[in-house]
């Protein structure tokens, strides 16, 4: 069995990673989130009770597991404290199990305000307005404030004042809105520092020592490959590396220490917000699948756009992540269809694309080339093994496997923990 596994979204996010991470966390010792922020939402259903986690790794729902928020994550302290309180109110022990990297960058109210104003002023990208992008921008511009800085009063005062001098000037001169008070932010974030101090640690050392001690580490990705800032549908992407490479940079664990990469896909395709989506359904089928699949964002509540399975997108994800195995979720949502399509190529201006094109014009205007397979028209939610699936459902999965050139390891036919089984 592989010791250290990375779980990656292989579409546009919302693939059901929370449930898959929860399953693999059972046999892991440490679960680490390595990128994104509270713009992501992982949903886990245990005995019909839903847990929606935005920052804390899903492994926290398993007793005794150590959970880490890595240096590649941007953290809103208020959101983190609310999530800790929610878990404790449900009887889940967090203290002594959750650790946040000293090097993780901190989201401030001016990040959220700038996110909101830029989204309104420029072409709509579909941001969650949580301040994620502006916080990452400060990190890259070397203006960011990390948790280690928050704990050093002299450094925190200096960097906060410098940031506010710049941010308040931008807010007043460009956006004509009021800036932020140094004293108010200083007091608010010093209070966060006091409350979170017991969780803050040098997590890169913790992780490497755990690996040295032969502990099993699970790397938890947020969003999906097609939202990766380098490998996604730029500019309609998130502001971090949601691909497997981000697992190393976002934790301080070298790539040679990661033994396996598992990609999670829906049996169809969804995306939230703006951006190209070649296999998007027409309205009637969109509404049908959206309702059956409960396709509404865990973070924003926004309705997700739905479409046929896009083999070009997932083949791209298999390649850039080095995916070893695939997990297919929400197969049951397709139970109601007479026939099902798989996109195997794009056609644009007479040219056939069998590989994912970076050109946003091609992606926005291409015509998907489909293969059509018969549906199975029977309820799969109670099925507990691959052999028990209808013949046409098995044929659909076999075709997906062949198109991707990657093995399907697990199949999910419902939102509960128990509604998952092996391909073998």
Catalogue the active-site residues.
Answer: 14, 42
Is there a contact between 97 and 60 (Cβ–Cβ < 8 Å)? Answer: yes
SS3 404: helix
* Inter-helix orientation angle 391-404/311-321, to 10°: 50
Q: Using the CB atoms, write b or e for 220-255: b if 16+ within 10 Å.
A: bbbbbbbbbbebbbeebbbbbbbbbbbbbbbbbbee
Query: Coil, strand, or helix at residue 157?
Result: helix
The answer to whether residues 2 and 256 touch, using CB atoms and an 8 Å cutoff, is: no
The length of the chain is 424
Contact 333, 275 (CB under 8 A): no
Q: How far apart are CA 362 and CA 114, in angstroms?
A: 31
Distance from the first to the final alpha carbon of the chain:
15
If you count DSSP H runs as helices and E runs as strands, how many of each does the chain have, helices first?
13, 20
Beta bridge partners of residue 353, listed in sequence order: 346
Distance of CA 146 to CAs 6, 247, 255, Å?
25, 19, 24
Q: What span, in angstroms and rounded, lies between the C-alpha atoms of 160 and 130?
A: 19
Give, to the nearest 10 degrees, the angle between helix 153-173 and helix 109-121.
Answer: 20
CA angle 90, 94, 96 (to 5 degrees): 155
**How far is residue 278's CA from residue 191's CA, in Å, rounded to a whole number?**
47
């Amino acid at each position: 069995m592989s010791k250290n596994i990375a779980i990656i979204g292989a579409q546009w996010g919302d693939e059901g990673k929370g449930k898959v991470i929860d399953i693999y966390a059972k046999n892991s010792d440490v679960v680490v989130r390595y990128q994104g922020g509270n713009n992501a939402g992982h949903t886990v259903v245990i005995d019909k009770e839903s847990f929606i986690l935005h920052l804390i790794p899903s492994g926290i729902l398993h007793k005794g597991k150590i959970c880490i928020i890595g240096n590649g994550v941007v953290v809103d302290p208020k959101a983190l404290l609310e999530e800790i309180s929610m878990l404790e109110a449900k009887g889940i022990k967090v203290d002594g199990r959750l650790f946040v990297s000293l090097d993780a960058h901190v989201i401030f109210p001016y990040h959220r305000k700038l996110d909101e104003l830029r989204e309104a002023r420029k072409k709509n990208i579909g941001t969650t307005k949580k301040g994620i992008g502006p916080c990452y921008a400060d990190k890259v511009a070397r203006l960011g404030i990390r948790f280690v800085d928050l704990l050093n009063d002299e450094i925190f005062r200096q960097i906060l004042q410098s940031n506010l001098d710049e941010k308040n000037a931008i807010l007043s001169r460009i956006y004509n809105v009021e800036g932020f008070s140094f004293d108010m932010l200083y007091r608010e974030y010093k209070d966060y520092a006091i409350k979170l101090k017991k969780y803050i640690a040098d997590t890169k050392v913790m992780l490497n020592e755990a690996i040295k001690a032969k502990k099993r580490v699970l790397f938890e990705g947020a969003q999906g490959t097609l939202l990766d800032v380098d490998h996604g549908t730029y500019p309609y992407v998130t502001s971090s590396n949601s691909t497997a490479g981000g697992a190393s940079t976002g934790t301080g664990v070298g790539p040679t220490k990661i033994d396996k990469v598992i990609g999670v896909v829906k049996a169809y395709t969804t995306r939230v917000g703006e951006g190209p989506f070649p296999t998007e359904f027409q309205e009637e089928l969109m509404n049908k699948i959206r309702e059956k699949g409960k396709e509404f964002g865990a973070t924003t509540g926004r309705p997700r756009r739905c479409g046929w399975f896009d083999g070009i997108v997932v083949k791209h994800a298999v390649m850039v992540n080095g995916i070893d195995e695939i997990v297919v979720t929400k197969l049951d949502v397709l139970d109601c269809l007479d026939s099902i399509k798989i996109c195997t190529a794009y056609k644009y201006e007479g040219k056939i694309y069998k590989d994912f094109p970076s050109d946003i014009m091609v992606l926005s205007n291409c015509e998907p080339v489909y293969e059509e397979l018969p549906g199975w028209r029977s309820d799969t939610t109670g099925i507990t093994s691959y052999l028990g699936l209808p013949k046409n459902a098995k044929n659909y999965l076999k075709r997906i496997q062949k198109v991707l050139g990657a093995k399907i390891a697990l199949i999910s036919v419902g939102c509960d923990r128990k509604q998952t089984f092996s391909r073998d």
